[in-house]
């Protein structure tokens, strides 16, 4: 039988193609496996810290006392209760006599507190530990649902109950308790230590943290690091990791709100125009929601995977070690729930709609507010331009609301400061995996970015998914033992930072 030349060529060509495909698959497989093998633990090996003798019961009583001051931040500034904040100041003075005798205390903007514990070596950059004195209100009508009243500071069932016990009076008291303990031990820091407690964090921190940071800036202070609230130690929150994971905020999202207004002629609802004001406004909101910014695996989120990935099963490790290949898959997975979706994109949230007063009258003016939380790498300007393009309707006026800020810088996780934090967590909470994290909300620490490159956001508190709703919610509480641990963390951190 004779082969036609063209047939021979085809058979040979097929064979070549097969070999080529197999070769590519083998190379890919090799790359994937090598990357997986090299994807090793980023955790520091340390010995657990010896337990510090500390009276947990007494510390719990101190915190309980602080929870009884209704230092509430209301949206309406007229409701602000000056006296309660001043009484809390007095309470702290009485409760921590050593700290108040040794540290310099300054009251900033009347109600915020800045303490300075002078170090022996002025050449070294100081550290700054933060928290805030204010709490959010208890939502009207929910008081009866609390197991113990929100401002009684009940110590029951092994917990200290009350508004502020998680956010974030345990931070204020934990830090002061640590300082008081160290002072009683005769500890003398070489670096200066600042303690900064704002009074209006829950309404934006524009008088408290903002002015403390400005004051330090005016004095030429340059900090080694700032530690504020943000992340915590989570259990059962990061899928695929059975041990607790300490999420240390290394970046924070930006913030902007746009106000959309549509004006129309109004009139009787029996003869409406084709496009009503409410219809035009709704269409604009709909378009914004339909055209959300695309998802992106931003640096801090990639770092999170670099730190938690190696602690996972082989299959998951393989995926996170090869984000160049599986990035789209991971993004799709993260987009499934609002909590993780917020990690990968600038979010779009319509929060206010106003317009119309009577069922048979066409409103002459309707208004909506859409709030955006901006992913690092994106900007407020981008958000505004994007919204204009998407809405693309001259009948919709777009205004920018006053409260806005850019995403934070990304703090360096190879810095001495991050390593000190990581080490301290693993000394006090042995076996806990420490990982960088993107904070999707906003904290007071953004004001301190002018003083240091190293802003980290972390509270040494163990939370389960169920606990996450307690802060700002019902039955906010902290375990007596958890609070004691929180204090030992701050003691260890101060020692490790020297």
Q: Is 94 exposed, middle or buried (0-12, 13-18, 19+ CB in 10 A)?
A: exposed
Contact (Cβ atoms closer than 8 angstroms) between residue 488 and residue 54: yes
Between the CA of residue 223 and those of 133, 140, 394, 453, 496, what are the distances in Å? 22, 41, 48, 8, 16
Nearer to Zn ion, 167 or 378 (CB): 167
Structure tokens at 464: 């389960």
Among 49, 60, 129, 168, binds Zn ion (CB under 5 A): 168
397: β partners: 261
Site for Zn ion in 282-341 (CB under 5 A): none
- Please give the biggest Cα pair distance in the chain: 107
> Angle at which helices 56-67 and 169-184 pack, to 10 degrees?
140
Among the residue ranges 221-229, 247-255, 307-315, 460-468, the one whose residues contact Zn ion (CB under 5 A): 221-229
Q: Which of 167, 180, 200, 201 is catalytic?
A: 201
201: annotated active-site residue: yes
C-beta of 478: minimal distance to Zn ion in Å? 13
C-beta of 168: minimal distance to Zn ion in Å? 4
Among the residue ranges 157-165, 223-231, 298-306, 433-441, the one whose residues contact Zn ion (CB under 5 A): 223-231
Q: Which of 134, 202, 252, 311 is catalytic?
A: 134
C-beta of 212: minimal distance to Zn ion in Å? 15
* Position 167 contacts Zn ion (CB under 5 A): yes
Nearer to Zn ion, 182 or 203 (CB): 203
Does residue 252 have a cis peptide bond before it, meaning omega lies within 30 degrees of 0? no
Nearer to Zn ion, 177 or 200 (CB): 200
* Position 493 contacts Zn ion (CB under 5 A): no
* Position 252 contacts Zn ion (CB under 5 A): no
392 vs 395: CA distance, rounded Å = 9
Among 81, 66, 236, smallest CA distance to 168 is for: 66
Three state DSSP letters for 132-173:
ECCECCCCCCCHHHCCCCCCCCCEECCEEECCCCCCCHHHHH
134: annotated active-site residue: yes
Buried-state track 335-357, b at ≥16 Cβ within 10 A, e below 16 = eeeeebbbbbbbbbebeebebbe
Among the residue ranges 77-85, 228-236, 243-251, 420-428, the one whose residues contact Zn ion (CB under 5 A): 228-236
Site for Zn ion in 382-411 (CB under 5 A): none
Nearer to Zn ion, 177 or 476 (CB): 476
C-beta of 247: minimal distance to Zn ion in Å? 15
Contact residues for Zn ion, defined by CB under 5 A = 167-168, 229
- Residues catalogued as catalytic: 134, 201
């Amino acid at each position: 039988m004779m082969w036609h030349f063209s047939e021979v060529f085809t058979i040979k060509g097929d064979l070549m193609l097969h070999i080529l495909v197999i070769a590519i698959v083998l190379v890919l497989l090799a790359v994937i496996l090598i990357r997986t093998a090299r994807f090793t633990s980023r955790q520091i090996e340390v010995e657990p810290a010896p337990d510090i003798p500390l009276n947990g019961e007494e510390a719990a009583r101190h915190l309980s006392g602080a929870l009884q001051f209704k230092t509430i931040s209301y949206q309406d500034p007229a409701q602000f209760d000056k006296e309660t904040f001043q009484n809390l100041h007095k309470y702290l003075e009485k409760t921590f006599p050593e700290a108040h005798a040794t540290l310099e205390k300054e009251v900033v903007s009347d109600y915020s507190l800045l303490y300075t514990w002078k170090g022996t070596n002025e050449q070294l950059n100081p550290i700054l530990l933060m928290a805030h004195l204010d709490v959010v209100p208890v939502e009207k009508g929910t008081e009866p649902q609390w197991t113990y009243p929100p401002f009684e500071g009940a110590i029951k069932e092994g917990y200290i109950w009350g508004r502020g016990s998680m956010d974030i009076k345990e931070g204020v008291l934990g830090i002061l308790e640590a300082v008081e303990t160290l002072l009683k031990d005769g500890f003398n820091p070489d670096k200066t230590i600042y303690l900064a407690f704002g009074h209006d964090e829950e309404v934006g921190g524009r008088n408290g943290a903002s002015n403390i940071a400005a004051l330090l800036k005016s004095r030429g202070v340059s900090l080694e690091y700032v530690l504020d609230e943000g992340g915590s130690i989570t259990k059962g929150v990061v899928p695929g990791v059975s041990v607790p994971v300490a999420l240390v905020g290394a970046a924070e999202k930006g913030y902007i709100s746009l106000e959309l207004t549509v004006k129309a002629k109004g009139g009787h609802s029996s003869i409406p125009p084709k496009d009503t004001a409410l219809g035009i406004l709704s269409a604009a909101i709909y378009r914004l929601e339909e055209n959300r910014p695309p998802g992106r695996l931003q640096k801090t989120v990639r770092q999170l995977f670099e730190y938690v990935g190696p602690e996972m099963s082989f299959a998951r490790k393989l995926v996170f070690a090869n984000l160049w290949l599986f990035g789209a898959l991971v993004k799709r997975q993260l987009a499934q729930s609002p909590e993780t979706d917020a990690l990968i994109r600038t979010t779009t949230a319509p929060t206010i709609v106003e317009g119309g007063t009577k069922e048979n009258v066409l409103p002459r003016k309707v208004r909506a507010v859409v709030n955006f939380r901006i992913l690092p790498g994106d900007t407020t300007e981008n958000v505004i331009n994007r919204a204009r393009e998407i809405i693309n309707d001259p009948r919709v006026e777009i205004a920018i609301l006053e409260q806005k800020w850019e995403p934070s810088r990304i703090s360096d996780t190879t810095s001495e400061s991050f390593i000190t934090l990581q080490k301290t967590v693993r000394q006090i909470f042995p076996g806990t995996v420490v990982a960088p994290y993107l904070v999707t909300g906003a904290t007071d620490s953004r004001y301190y970015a002018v003083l240091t490159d190293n802003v980290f956001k972390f509270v040494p508190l163990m939370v389960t998914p169920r606990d996450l709703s307690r802060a700002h919610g019902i039955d906010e509480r902290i375990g007596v033992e958890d609070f004691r641990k929180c204090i030992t963390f701050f003691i260890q951190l101060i020692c490790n930072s020297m």
